Structure 1
């Protein structure tokens, strides 16, 4: 069972910093998705792909994966960069 651990990014609709420090353990899909012949929806029999576990820190997520024998890859958080721009820059 493989999983990935990453820090959840802030959504485009979010201006504050609530729930930005959470780390997520998400299982990878073990079988391919297939289209339903009647409705055309995609799905699979893999229920682990629907599970998303949230942790307060990266160490807690790694400890959980080690405890239950889950091989997990940790994805580093990209550095945050601010692009400061003044309103007067629009008229240069």
Structure 2
């Protein structure tokens, strides 16, 4: 059973980095999903693909995989550059602005 260890990216609907500091060990699908002809739901007899474990560090996830003889691949995260402005959010409401602030 192949597993993947990665650090989840931030949600596209959020600007912060909440819930992106933990590392996740997630099992790959062994069998393809099937569509139920009556209801149209997708399902799979593979229950391991539902397992998703969180670890505080990458090393802890790797140690767990090695201790339980789980084959794994590690995907390194792509870090984004922090967007820090010089004067912060208050700059939008500055009274000493040299130019007119418009949209």
Larger CA Rg, structure 1 vs 2: 2
2:13 aligned with 1:4, yes or no?
no
Alignment length (residue pairs): 88
Partner of 1:54: 54
CA distance in 1, matches of 2:35, 2:14: 34
Q: Any unmatched runs of 5+ in structure 1?
A: none
Alignment of 1:22-41 (within 5 A): 22-41=22-41
TM-score, L = length of structure 2: 0.74
TM-score, L = length of structure 1: 0.82
CA distance in 2, matches of 1:11, 1:43: 25
Q: Any unmatched runs of 5+ in structure 2?
A: 86-91, 93-98
Q: Secondary structure at the match of 1:38?
A: coil
Q: Identify if the C-alpha distance between structure 1 residues 56 and 27 changes in structure 2 by more than 3 Å, giving closer, same or farther.
A: same
Partner of 2:89: none
CA RMSD between the two structures: 2.3
Q: Please give the per-residue CA displacement for 1:2-37, whole angstroms capped at 9, x wherever unaligned.
A: 100000111123333332210000000011111111
Q: Please give the per-residue CA displacement for 1:42-90, whole angstroms capped at 9, x wherever unaligned.
A: 11100111110000000000000001000010001113135789x99xx
Alignment of 1:59-70 (within 5 A): 59-70=59-70
Partner of 1:21: 21
